Structure 1
Amino acid sequence: MTARISVRGFAVASATAVTTVGAVVGVASGNQQIGAEPVELAASDATLLADIPVDGTTQVQTASLTQQVDAQTDAANDAAKKSAAESARKAAAKEAEAKKQAAEEARKVKEAAERAAKEREEARQAASRSTERTDFPQQSSYTIAEVKAMAQQIVGGGQYQCFSSIVERESGWNYQAQNPSSGAYGLVQALPGYKMASAGADWRTNPATQIKWGLNYMNERYGSPCGAWEFWQANHWY
């Protein structure tokens, strides 16, 4: 006879299950019959039965969970590696850009230093030529072309254009130009005009004297005629 045994809501309907339950609750295995009423197992017994693996399902589930954890771990590691690689790439790019900017700044500083050194040398050579060139023949008057030719010889080609730009705006190459309000005089509009006497007593009538004085003034105050021209462009005086 097969009895229906209820173990906390689970039905066990086999004779083997009845025998097992009977052994647990102390039912004899002889002629004694099991009543029709359901037999309730103690909680500890139900747990014991529930813990007994029926097949490999538990092992399969455990293996599946392990694989999932491994897969998640691998994914997390891959993401961390990618993030680290991207951070390293950005850091390297930033460092390369900083080095590039530093190199560019160094290049500009070097070029500026070389340009300043070149201008100083040109100014020195021009000053030397202006000291040596004192034998321009005296004339009662000079054309603009003659005055410019003097300036080219005294100032020199490297700085002449800057010198010429200032003289063009100050006097228009008129060696007798005088500002009626300030009293500035000559090609470079010395103020007062008599300061040019340090270059020669004939400063009023000799363009060469005015050119030499103007060149020395630009060299001493601005480093060169080009330095003076740069200042003039920013301030419209020098």
Structure 2
Amino acid sequence: MLEGNRVSRISVRGFAVASATAVTTVGAVVGVASGNAQPSGDSLETAAADATLLADIPMGQQAQVQVSSLTEQADAQAAAAEASARKSAEESARVQAAQLATAKKEAADTKAKKEREAKAKAEAEAEKKADRASRDSVRDSSSFTVKSSYSVAEVKAMARQMIPGDQFQCFSNIVQKESTWNYLAQNPSSGAYGLVQALPGSKMSSAGADWRTNPATQIKWGLKYMNERYDSPCGAWSFWQANRWY
């Protein structure tokens, strides 16, 4: 019966060494048989001892040692594969987290940009409305003394007091082209009437019932019309230059 302790100490490495030694021993014996130079006595004794060591392990246990070695290799490969898979999963999770963070930041930036644009638009609109209100109320037409007739100089003086300073020249350009500052001017073809040639002239009644004879009422209506339709008299003048009407 084989000694249990001795067999248990045989490792895969020991098995490989014993196998190599056994092959060496067989080679030595064959060499002697073929007439080659005989090895020294020490070499023969060592080879014989190693061969005896390998022979001491039963064939079944030799197979078990080989299986154990293959199992260890398989376990090592499985562990390496698992570590690689874990690392890949961690890297994938890191990339996804980075992408998600980037997407959230871009969404937040887009939202903030839209909010800033909306705020700026609202502020601009409010400023525009305030500017319009200021222009419309520079001086009300009712503050002028009503007369039976007005000279061109008097009509222009009214306009200067009612039109904001930076808009007066544009307003004046349009009136000059439309009526040459004649508040009683009427187009025989279209029926357009007054300083700004309102069409029909009755539109100016929204500024006052005396729209036919009061240039201040006509100026008031004309200023409001230009502000509402073209944002300002200068906006109306730019349109008039491009189209010859407004």
Q: Please state which band the TM-score falls in when normalised by the shorter chain.
A: 0.5 to 0.7
The one-letter code sitting in structure 2 at the alignment partner of 1:225 is D
2: CA distance between counterparts of 1:169 and 1:100?
Answer: 50
Matched with 1:119 is: 128
The gaps in structure 1 that reach 5 residues or longer are: 1-48
Q: CA RMSD in A?
A: 4.3
DSSP-derived class of the 1:201 partner: coil
1:127 positional shift: 2.7
TM-score by length of 2: 0.54
Check whether the contact 1:188–1:210 (CA below 8 A) recurs between aligned residues: yes
1:66 aligns with 2:66: no
The one-letter code sitting in structure 1 at the alignment partner of 2:170 is S
Matched with 2:93 is: 84
Check whether the contact 1:218–1:225 (CA below 8 A) recurs between aligned residues: yes
1:202 positional shift: 6.1
Matched with 1:36 is: none
2: CA distance between counterparts of 1:166 and 1:84?
Answer: 71
With over 3 angstroms needed to count, the CA separation of the structure-2 counterparts of 1:213 and 1:173, relative to structure 1, is same
1:118 positional shift: 1.5
1: CA distance between counterparts of 2:141 and 2:192?
Answer: 27
Matches within 5 A, 1:40-51: 51=60
Check whether the contact 2:171–2:233 (CA below 8 A) recurs between aligned residues: no
The gaps in structure 2 that reach 5 residues or longer are: 1-57
1:74 positional shift: 1.3
With over 3 angstroms needed to count, the CA separation of the structure-2 counterparts of 1:56 and 1:115, relative to structure 1, is same
1:199 aligns with 2:208: yes
Matched with 1:14 is: none
TM-score by length of 1: 0.55
With over 3 angstroms needed to count, the CA separation of the structure-2 counterparts of 1:104 and 1:210, relative to structure 1, is same
1:110 positional shift: 0.9
Percent of paired sites with the same residue: 31
1: CA distance between counterparts of 2:135 and 2:60?
Answer: 108
1:116 positional shift: 1.7
Which of 120-129 and 163-172 deviates more?
Answer: 163-172
